[in-house]
Amino acid sequence: DIVMTQSPESLTVSLGERATINCKSSQSVFFSSNNKNYLAWYQQKPGQPPKVLIYWASTRESGVPDRFSGSGSGTDFTLTISSLQAEDVAVYYCQQYFSTPVFTFGQGTKLEI
């Protein structure tokens, strides 16, 4: 299975500041035939199921604020929140969906203010 490793495990950022979360996969999740990275980011708030923020490593889901952005390719990826808002306090997970159907997740990054 592809192992996903996130860093840091927890992060404290001030309101209005930038938050950066990293995700590394144990093997490439880039598919050359369609030039896409099979990597998604999810946000999970306490007591709620996860919600997709980003797919194809950098495509924002409809309705997700543009302060959330994803980047990276191959095995190294980043989720950036450009200006942290109070409602962004959550745990963030990366997920690879390259190895169908075993879609593995990172261990999560807890974001606090």
Partner 1 sequence: EVQLVDSGGGLVQPGGSLRLSCSASGFTFSIYAMHWVRQGPGKRLEWISAISTTGDSTFYADSVKGRFTISRDNSNNTLYLRMSSLRSDDTAVYYCVKVTSNNWYDYWGQGTLVTVSS
Q: Any contact of residue 108 with partner 1 (CB under 8 A)?
A: yes
Q: Any contact of residue 97 with partner 1 (CB under 8 A)?
A: yes
Q: Any contact of residue 3 with partner 1 (CB under 8 A)?
A: no
Q: Any contact of residue 35 with partner 1 (CB under 8 A)?
A: no
* Least CB distance to partner 1 at residue 83 (A): 25
DSSP letters spanning 24-52: EESS--EETTTTEE-EEEEEE-TTS--EE
**Angle at alpha carbon of residue 64, lines to 95 and 24, rounded to 5°:** 25
Round to whole Å and give the CA distance between 41 and 105: 9
| Coil vs helix vs strand at 87 | helix
* Least CB distance to partner 1 at residue 57 (A): 11
Positions touching partner 1 (CB under 8 A) are 38, 40, 42, 48-52, 55-56, 61, 93, 95, 97, 100-108
